[in-house]
Every structure is written in structure tokens, then in C-alpha cells.
Amino acid sequence: MLDAEVRELMQPFVLSDYQVQEVYSRFCLEVARGLKRSTHPQANVKCFPTYVQDLPTGDEMGKYLALDLGGTNFRVLLVSLKGHHDATVDSQIYAVPKDLMVGSGVQLFDHIAGCLAKFVEKHDMKTAYLPLGFTFSFPCVQLGLKEGLLVRWTKGFDCAGVEGEDVGRMLHEAIQRRGDADIAVVAILNDTTGTLMSCAHRNADCRVGVIVGTGCNACYVEDVENVDLLRADFKKSKRSVIVNAEWGAFGEGGQLDFVRTEYDREVDEKSINRAEQLFEKMTAGMYLGNLVRLVLLRALERKLIFKQSSRRPEFAGVLQRNEEVFETRYISEIEDDSFPEFASTRKIVRNLFGLEKASVEDCQTLRYICECVAKRAATLVAIGVSGLVNRTSNRRVIVGMDGSVYRYHPKFDAYMRQTLQKLVKADKEWDIMLSEDGSGRGAALVAAVASKSK
Ligand code: BGC
């Protein structure tokens, strides 16, 4: 049985029906404000047009390179589209060293171009002409399909000299500086766009793409008449365009203050992008573990966990010393654990604190803390998804999902569905589908669809 005091501790994370409805209304308002030219500058859900206007048909063919930059690793991929909704992907992961994440932009792009050259050489394609789709998972103002100006760094990146610049051009210049491969950057896209495209490749009803990984964001298909910022010449021949919501920034106008907890405020205050990406800081993998860490500290202080142990101050020390010590993946492992053995939970506790035998009660408390933090994240994500699903003009809407939190958390999907059931309009038929490598396959598809429409 859980202590009443533990429930009380976690109460601020439990969203009431009223709060869910209120966040939903505020979110929908921000989306509408982001789309409108007159309110866009103040809106915090920016809704950037992506210039991706055609969804794949499944018959796309050809070899494409894709680059995927947006988290702690980046990947280079060779995607062969084979028609009949089929594709094969060959990829290589490269680390982004911490110092490069906060170094100069030129250094970052030189490093990427270097890895790209190695990859092409390994695949014996140094002399082949290769079109490249660049999945760049940060907020960008797109001026066209292959021009994207970085608005701001997120997720721990802070490279000098890139904000306000065209990242497509910076990558192109880095490739030119080396001069050892014939690669053309033909498209820049967000990972959410890649997710939507890769799901649409398999299911024509996909209209929303969502990432809940290191960061959190979504895109959706909107009618061109509603997208004021789309250049007029792009409204003539096509009815719709993918809009990158950049919902991670939701709340920067105070909209979430009525549900943010003291722990959310502390996560924000200690981050390198203070007062920015507030919705992301409540939902994304980069922050969820840290939230649990802060709640655990409070639980230790109030003697709500590890009550039998005299080593509580020492445990608190472990949690205080390192913000990243409680990894987000532990949340998934703990919620996946079986009662009453709690084998994974006990292992995590042993590794963190050197505590050999956590009691069943301790494990239950820890699990409840994780559950409340993850469930709130899933509820918030589902509020956003409902807002976007309800905006689309289709009756049947598939939501394409990806990201480590969604993928590996055993209940994230179920938590999301509970909220979607409450908020999505009754006349819509919806479902969620897991994306297959959106950042790779999706990038190749954007590149392929772009060459087709030329
Ligand atoms: C970025 C988005 C991205 C999301 C998921 C956020 O921090 O702003 O552009 O889609 O992370 O990777």
C-alpha cells in the first residue's frame, strides 16, 4: 500500500480533468496564433510551414543520403527506396562530443561533413552524385525546402554562429571545403516531418507526426489557406502543407504556470536555456529523469522513502551531485518491473546508492513517483496531439510516433490513449502508429517527393 503522504507528494503531477481541458484550450489558441501572421511574433507555438506539400505515394525510388542531427548522436544513412512502399536503410551512428555541442558552428558542420565523407567512402560511392535530406531537429524558419534558418538551439546544444543562419548552406559549405564527395543538400526537415512522412509511406491516412525522445515536438498537415506564413506561390497548386508546430516552446507565455510544479521550475532554472522550451521540459526524455531525481530528493528529505536506512543523507548526496544521475530510461525500466520481485528497480537502487535490499514499499514508492512523472508527460503530449488531430480536415487520422520515451516506456502509449479518448472529437477516427526510422527514411522520402514534383 502506498503511503497517503507519498500520494500527497505527487499530487501536483496529477492533472485534473479541468486542468487537462484548460491546457487543451490554451494549446489550441497558441496554434491558431502561431499560424496567423499578425499574432505569430508573440505566439509560442510557432507553427512553421515546412514546404513539404506532398505526402509519399509508396512508389518512390532511388538512393538517397540522409543525415540525422538532433540528439546526443548523429547518424548518416543510405536509404534505398524501392517502390511498393519498400525501403532499405544502411546507417552509421557517430557521437557528437560534448565540446562540439557547445563549440563553434563551423567546427560542428566540419565534423559532420567529415563523417559523411567517411561513410561515402566506406560505401564506395565517392564519385556518385548523391542527393541528401538533412534531418535537423531544431526550430527553423524555412524559406523553402532546402533553406532553414535556425531560430534557437534546444536539447543542450549551443554552437556559436548558427542561430539565424541557413543550416543547409552551412552544411553545403562544409562539404565543399572538403571537396571529396558529390553530395547535394536537397531538403532540410524536422524529425517530426520525417516521422510523418515515413508513416504516410505505409499508411496514407497519417496526418500528424510526433517525437517524444530527447526533445518533444509535433507536426501536422494543415490546409494552405490557414498558413499565413507560407509563401503565396506555394498556395496555388497545392491544398496542404506540413506545419512544424514546435510545441516544445508552449508555456513560454505563462500558459502552463498553473500546472508547473516547483520541480519544473528548478529544472528550468538550472538549464542552459532558461525560460525556454517549457512544455518540452515537462515531456521530453532530456528532462524526465531529472524531474524524478528532484522529487526523490524531496521524498528523502521528508523520510517518505528508504525509511529504514540511516544512509538517507548519503543517498541525497548522490542525487545532488549529478543532475543526470537518474537516467530517463530508468523510468521505463521501473514501470516495466514486476511486483513483488522488483528485480530491475532493486538493481537501479543498488547501482545508484549501493543499497542491497530495497524494501517492496520503497520500490512501490519509487515506481509511483516515476509513474506520475511519465503519466503527466504522456497526458500533456496527448493534449497537444488531440489539438492537432482536431484541426486536420480528415475524418480518419493516423498519428505517427517516434522517440525513445514513447518507444521504450511500457505505458506511454496507453496513457496517451486515455487522454486522446477524452479530447479527440467524436466524429474522428484515430489511431497511433510507431514510425519506422522517420529521420532516415523520412528524409529520403522528402528528398524523393521533392524531386518528383519538380
Ligand atoms: C526541437 C524540435 C524537435 C524536437 C524532437 C526539440 O527540442 O525544438 O525541432 O523536433 O526537439 O527532437
Q: What is the pLDDT of residue 137?
A: 96
Please, which residues bridge with residue 133 across strands? 66, 187
Q: What is the pLDDT of residue 291?
A: 98
- Is 215 close to ligand 1, i.e. is its CB under 6 Å away? yes
Q: What is the pLDDT of residue 203?
A: 95
Separation between Cα atoms, residue 166 and residue 147, nearest integer Å:
6
- Is 138 close to ligand 1, i.e. is its CB under 6 Å away? yes
Work out whether strand 48-49 and strand 61-69 pair parallel, antiparallel, or are unpaired. Answer: unpaired
Q: What is the pLDDT of residue 454?
A: 59
Residue-wise pLDDT tens digits, 276-295: 999 999 999 999 999 999 99
Residue nearest to atom 2 of ligand 1 (CA): 138
Residue-wise pLDDT tens digits, 96-134: 888 999 999 999 999 999 999 999 999 999 888 999 999
**Ligand 1: which atom is nearest the Cα of residue 218?**
10
CA of 49 to the centre of ligand 1 (A): 15
CA of 295 to the centre of ligand 1 (A): 25
Separation between Cα atoms, residue 76 and residue 69, nearest integer Å:
9
Separation between Cα atoms, residue 291 and residue 298, nearest integer Å:
11
Residue nearest to atom 1 of ligand 1 (CA): 138
DSSP code of residue 24: H
CA of 249 to the centre of ligand 1 (A): 10
Residue with cell 531544431: 138
> Which residue, among 275, 271, 272, 237, has the nearest Cα to 257 in the 3D structure?
275
What nine digits make up the cell of 374? 511519465
* Enzyme catalytic residues: 155, 191
Non-local (6+) Cβ contacts of 64 within 8 A are 78, 79, 81, 130, 131, 132, 133, 443, 444, 447, 448
Residue nearest to atom 11 of ligand 1 (CA): 215
| Residue positions counted in the chain | 454
CA of 163 to the centre of ligand 1 (A): 15
- Is 402 close to ligand 1, i.e. is its CB under 6 Å away? no
**Ligand 1: which atom is nearest the Cα of residue 191?**
10
209, 245 in Cβ contact below 8 A? no
**Ligand 1: which atom is nearest the Cα of residue 277?**
7
Separation between Cα atoms, residue 232 and residue 219, nearest integer Å:
21
Residue nearest to atom 3 of ligand 1 (CA): 137
Q: What is the pLDDT of residue 99?
A: 92
What nine digits make up the cell of 267? 529544472
Residue nearest to atom 8 of ligand 1 (CA): 138
Separation between Cα atoms, residue 273 and residue 284, nearest integer Å:
14
pTM metric for this prediction = 0.96
Residue 50's φ and ψ, nearest 5 degrees, are -100, -15
Is 301 strand, coil or helix? helix
Residue 16 pLDDT more than 70? yes
Residue range 16-40: mean pLDDT, rounded:
98
288, 331 in Cβ contact below 8 A? yes
Q: What is the pLDDT of residue 193?
A: 97
Compute the Cα dihedral for 149, 151, 155, 158 and give only its sign: positive
Of 72, 191, 219, 281, the one to substitute when testing ligand 1's pocket (max ligand atoms within 8 A of C-beta) is 191
Residue nearest to atom 7 of ligand 1 (CA): 215
> Which residue, among 164, 137, 130, 133, has the nearest Cα to 146 in the 3D structure?
133
Model confidence at 377, pLDDT cuts 50, 70, 90, reads very high
- Is 281 close to ligand 1, i.e. is its CB under 6 Å away? no
Question: Considering the chain, what is the average pLDDT of its residues?
Answer: 95
Separation between Cα atoms, residue 193 and residue 272, nearest integer Å:
26
Please, which residues bridge with residue 66 across strands? 77, 133
- Is 192 close to ligand 1, i.e. is its CB under 6 Å away? yes
The number of beta carbons lying within 10 Å of the beta carbon of residue 333 is: 18
CA angle 382, 138, 228 (to 5 degrees): 75
> Which residue, among 407, 398, 405, has the nearest Cα to 377 in the 3D structure?
405
Separation between Cα atoms, residue 409 and residue 212, nearest integer Å:
11
- Is 148 close to ligand 1, i.e. is its CB under 6 Å away? no
Residue range 48-64: mean pLDDT, rounded:
93
109-123, 236-250, 366-380, 439-453: least confident range: 439-453
- Is 442 close to ligand 1, i.e. is its CB under 6 Å away? no
Residue 437 pLDDT more than 90? no
Describe the strand order of the beta sheet including 182-189 as a list of residue ranges. 87-95, 73-82, 61-69, 129-136, 182-189
Residue range 15-42: mean pLDDT, rounded:
98
Burial 123-144 (b: 16+ CB within 10 A, else e): bebeeeebbbbbbbbbbbbbee
216, 245 in Cβ contact below 8 A? no
Residue nearest to atom 5 of ligand 1 (CA): 215
Residue-wise pLDDT tens digits, 134-149: 999 999 999 999 999 9
Residue-wise pLDDT tens digits, 191-218: 999 999 999 999 999 999 999 999 999 9
Model confidence at 453, pLDDT cuts 50, 70, 90, reads low
Separation between Cα atoms, residue 84 and residue 275, nearest integer Å:
46
Residue 136's φ and ψ, nearest 5 degrees, are -120, 105
Residue range 310-326: mean pLDDT, rounded:
96
Model confidence at 436, pLDDT cuts 50, 70, 90, reads confident
- Is 438 close to ligand 1, i.e. is its CB under 6 Å away? no
Peptide bond into 56 cis (omega under 30): no
